[in-house]
Amino acid sequence: MNPFFLFNKMFLMNRSFLWLLFWINFLGTIYGYIWYGGQLAYTAITEPLWLLVFVPDSPTASLFFTITILFLLYPPSTRYKWITVVRQIVEGLAVVCSVKYGVWAVAIIFAGWFEGAPMYATDFMLIASHLGMAIEVLLYLRFMSVGKAGLLLATGWLLLNDTIDYTYGVYPNLPTQLHDNVSTVKWFTVTLSIISLFISLFVFKFKKRS
């Protein structure tokens, strides 16, 4: 089979394949929230409850993409402006958040290994799943209704999330070996939010050519 077929609209927008992606992302989202369960519980006990929304990053990104798949399967009517606006916001969040946290998780795992963290089988699962997050949203960006405004708004959310994470200490758990490098991780995280926007805008440029 021609490998470029995997980028073909007929393949990507096939309803059976979309449903497969939906369930993979849906179950991955649930697993992600379970993964954050301990940190969510600790935050609920020790911090103001409004901080909880800023704790789980990757599963929230995959949740946005899961909803985006439903929009692709069942495009909502454009007669109602508010539905269009909601869709564009969700899709914008799906794109930049999935790119950012997909790359971030992989980079942190490799940084931990470089600093001497042990390799676990779950690390390789996390690398594959998070790379998949970043790749799938970029592949599907051309089929979304999101515009530049939605991508910019979503990046604003990312920067707010970064600010909350490293101001209140609710950033994702890091390998022990990186605990002395939180400041470096913080600035890498903020920089990656901006880079994710530019990657998304670059792919967006080719949206109308598909």
One-letter amino acid at 208 equals K
pLDDT digits (tens, 9 = 90+) for 64-121: 999 999 999 999 887 888 889 999 999 999 999 999 999 999 999 999 999 988 888 8
- pTM for the whole structure: 0.92
Cα→Cα distances 63→11, 32, 84, Å: 23, 10, 18
Nearest alpha carbon to residue 126 among 193, 166, 90, 175: 175
Task: Taking the CA atoms of 164, 133, 135 and 111 in sequence, report the sign of the dihedral they define.
Answer: positive
pLDDT digits (tens, 9 = 90+) for 130-159: 999 999 999 999 999 999 999 999 999 999
- Is 131 exposed, middle or buried, given 0-12, 13-18 or 19+ CB atoms closer than 10 A? middle
What residue spans define the domains of the chain?
3-209
22-41: buried (b, 16+ CB within 10 Å) or exposed (e) per residue? bebbbebbeebbebbeebbe
One-letter amino acid at 28 equals G
